[in-house]
Structure 1
Amino acid sequence: MTDHTSWKAFTVERKDHVAQVTLIGPGKGNAMGPDFWSELPVLFAELDADPDVRAVVLAGSGKHFTFGLDLVAMGGDLATVLEDGARAKARTDFHEMVKRMQAAITAVADCRKPVVAAIQGWCIGGGVDLITAADIRYASADAKFSVREVKVGMVADVGTLARLPYIIGDGHVRELALTGKDIDAARAEKIGLVNDVFTDAEAVLAAAHETAAEIAANPPLVVHGIKDVLDHSRSPQVDDSLRYVAAWNAAFLPSEDLGEAIKAIFEKRPPQFKGR
């Protein structure tokens, strides 16, 4: 049964106590634009409240999970923090925007219905923020991951740096975040970023649904309790990290390097960072 709501960035299908949420863009590669950030918390609040849904499969349409933040669509919002010498009003507005985006990803993490992510192709930047909010992550053999924010003059601020340390080791977190390098599915499995790797997109989606069905067959209140207990000790640390990075980026993100990164993307050339 297809969801009655007309979402712009997602499709939602409910069947046998499992809801499949699929990223559909509208940006290329399911990039995360304004619709994604506004709809995600509303959608997951609905799934959390739906007594018929007991587990969620999170997937991406087409060849890729997501290219991450839609810098073209969101470029205007980023530009505001660079304008007018980034005075208090611009910084305050940016701080509020970051907190809204953080809340969108947190809605996935806080959903009482366990979320199983099925990842194929690219999962870049904001995509890593999103999958770190899932409970279980599976990948296809062609999946590639990148904590890309450092490459565009930003500190990842909507979940990756807060949640990834609870998923993989500290050294791996630092390597990915400080280099912005790409890793393949085999490396992602080796470091524990994903639970398992499957041959292709069809196989990984089938595996995600199989696990979601296993979860949905268990007593729902007990499943809620397990999630609550597992999240209890780490939630305060995650929340504190999110608050700190939102404030840090509002204070320090405005830079010549950020402007250069955005300009280089639009001009399709390598950026020249100068530390200013």
Structure 2
Amino acid sequence: MTQDNTDAASTGADAPAYRSHPYKAFTVTVADHIAEVTLIGPSKGNAQGPDFWTEAAPLFAALDTDPDVRAIVLTGSGTHFSFGLDLPAMMGDFGKVLASDAKAGPRTDFHNLVKSMQGAINAVADCRKPVIAAVAGWCIGGGVDLISAADIRVASADAKFSVREVKVAIVADMGSLARLPLIIGDGHTRELALTGKDIDAARAEKIGLVSDVYADKDATLEAAHAIAAEIAGNAPLVVQGFMDVLDHSRSARVDDSLRYVAAWNAAFLPSNDLTEAVTAVFEKRTPQFKGE
């Protein structure tokens, strides 16, 4: 896939380096003070593999400091927003801790990995340029973590959402359990997280996960850009001030939750059920959990 990370307004010698960086998980364009960041995979359904987790934090940090960017639209390429964590691609990083006899060394490495991956999602939440997520198709697991870090979410009528980690014997640890209660409330969060059920765009709008639903992906992206343009037309330092004030009260709660779940998973993630879940993914079957 050939990607174009610049536009006509950002190809000059003074353009920030990130705009021409050869990202593997994203494309980036900037025009009229709006950056469009598109997930591109490389795995099916824009699944979040190693490239996503290493590229997201520096990309959003760069967007945060780019004075020409006043708002960001985040979307997915193709039919779907994101299938979430690319488990097969991440097995090289997860393999050691899956061993039932994993000692302090592998567990410490895994804890550090989780904290690093959390940093990728945190970079979206911490960006002082408002992020509008435009969701079409599936938004699963890590995809929900990602949009929960956005400031505003809109969806197409075909969008479906799932906090699916419970289905693969993992406690969600990238931020959805910390941020969703502040967006949709504790009860809805518990229902989605404990069942792993899928919900459609109409239900997502009803519970407040998305602000509006549009006919299709193109209309959703257009609406996201319209919101971004409204924001970009306001005084940028005042917008950043609003962001700082709104984030202040929630940041300590989110940070505490993220630290706790990283430690919890480093201690308790390895299990026979997790091994069964991973095996079932590779064998394309339904896992049989035994609580072991």
Instruction: State the TM-score, normalizing by the size of structure 2.
Output: 0.94
CA–CA distance in 2 between the matches of 1:11 and 1:102? 21
Distance in 1 separating the partners of 2:284 and 2:207? 32
Name the residue aligned to 1:171. 187
Deviations 1:38-77 (A, max 9, x none): 0000100110010000000000000000000001100222
Residue 154 of structure 1 is aligned with which of 158, 165, 170? 170
Contact 2:159 2:201 in 1 (8 A): yes
* 1:21-100 matched pairs, under 5 angstroms: 21-83=37-99, 85-100=101-116
Equivalent-residue separation in structure 1 for 2:197 and 2:107 (angstroms): 29
- Check the 8 A contact 1:34/1:73 in 2, yes or no: yes
Q: Deviations over 1:71-111 (max 9, x none)?
A: 11002222210226111111101100000010110000000
Q: Retained in 1: the 8 A contact 2:29–2:35?
A: yes
2-side partners of 1:59 and 1:149: how far apart?
22
Aligned-pair identity in percent equals 73
Write the deviation string for residues 236-274 of structure 1: whole angstroms up to 9, x where unpaired.
000000000000000010100000000000011110101
Superposed structure 1 runs of 4+ greater than 3 Å apart: none
Equivalent residue number for residue 259 of structure 1: 275
Q: Alpha-carbon deviation of 1:170?
A: 1.1
Preserved contact between residue 169 and residue 274 of structure 2 (Cα < 8 Å): yes
3-state SS of paired residue (1:51): coil
The aligned residue for residue 204 of structure 1 is 220
**Distance in 1 of aligned mates of 2:160 and 2:99:** 35
Alignment of 1:108-127 (within 5 A): 108-127=124-143
Structure 1 Cα separation of the partners of residues 161 and 265 of structure 2: 23
- What residue is the counterpart of 2:290 in the other structure? 274
Q: Distance in 2 between matches of 1:260 and 1:75?
A: 14
What CA distance in whole angstroms lies between the structure 1 residues aligned with 2:128 and 2:134?
Answer: 19
Deviation digits for residues 17-42 of structure 1, max 9, x if unmatched?
00000000001000000000000001
Unmatched tracts of structure 1, length 5 or more: none
CA distance in 2, matches of 1:237, 1:160: 13
Asked whether 1:215 is paired with 2:231, we answer yes
Q: CA RMSD in A?
A: 0.7
- Picking from 135, 141, 150, the partner of 1:134 is 150
Residue 239 of structure 1: aligned partner: 255
Q: Is the CA contact (8 Å cut-off) linking 2:100 and 2:270 kept in structure 1? A: no
SS in 1 for 2:101: helix
- Count of matched residue pairs: 276
Task: Check whether the contact 1:22–1:61 (CA below 8 A) recurs between aligned residues.
Answer: yes
TM-score by length of 1: 0.99
The verdict on how the C-alpha distance between 1:275 and 1:84 changes in structure 2, with shifts beyond 3 A counting, is closer
Q: Which amino acid aligns with 2:279?
A: K
Identify the residue that residue 105 of structure 1 maps to in structure 2: 121
